[in-house]
Amino acid sequence: MRAAAPRGIDLDGISSAPASTPVGAGPAVPAAAAGAAATADTLSTLTVTGITSGKVAVASYMDALSKVPGLGLPTLVNFSENDSKLRFTVQVSITASALGGRFSPAGTSTSGTN
């Protein structure tokens, strides 16, 4: 999460809300997915808060998050401006591809050996 942040973004909080249904037990929709639209392969929703000096930096950060394997649907949930600083909250889904096949039944992994 921090490595994807462009210059000028200061992250000050990261939290996670797990899916309410275990992986493989059916469509998982996290309770905290009010901002990020959950899909059937959503395992969890991360909420990231931070401070920056402009809206362009937040948009760049969201673009960068969308390119991180295993993350999807970055959504701006909240922002406020005070003293020329922009405080923002972004939610992003952790998708099943983040598992990389580690929890697949033997012989079904597509990402290498189990």
**Spatial strand order in the sheet of 85-95:** 10-18, 42-52, 85-95, 71-82
The answer to whether position 106 is within a domain reads: no
User: Which residue blocks in the chain are alpha helix, DSSP H?
Assistant: 55-66
pLDDT in 10s for each residue of the chain, 114 residues: 788 888 889 999 999 888 665 555 544 444 444 445 556 678 899 999 999 988 999 999 999 999 999 998 999 999 999 888 999 999 999 888 877 766 666 655 555 544
The answer to whether position 114 is within a domain reads: no
Report the DSSP beta bridge partners of residue 90. Answer: 48, 76
Q: Give the pLDDT of residue 17.
A: 87
The answer to whether position 58 is within a domain reads: yes
Q: Give the pLDDT of residue 89.
A: 96
Q: What is the CATH number of the domain that holds 47?
A: 3.30.70
The answer to whether position 28 is within a domain reads: yes
The answer to whether position 42 is within a domain reads: yes
Segments forming the whole domain that contains residue 44: 10-98
The answer to whether position 16 is within a domain reads: yes
The CB-side HSE value for 103 (13 A sphere, CA atoms) comes to 9
The answer to whether position 32 is within a domain reads: yes
Q: Give the pLDDT of residue 58.
A: 94
Q: pTM for this one?
A: 0.70
Q: Give the pLDDT of residue 47.
A: 94
The answer to whether position 104 is within a domain reads: no
Number of domains in the chain: 1
Q: Give the pLDDT of residue 103.
A: 63
Q: Give the pLDDT of residue 100.
A: 72
Give the Å distances, CA to CA, from 95 to 49, 70, 72, 92, 110: 20, 5, 7, 9, 16
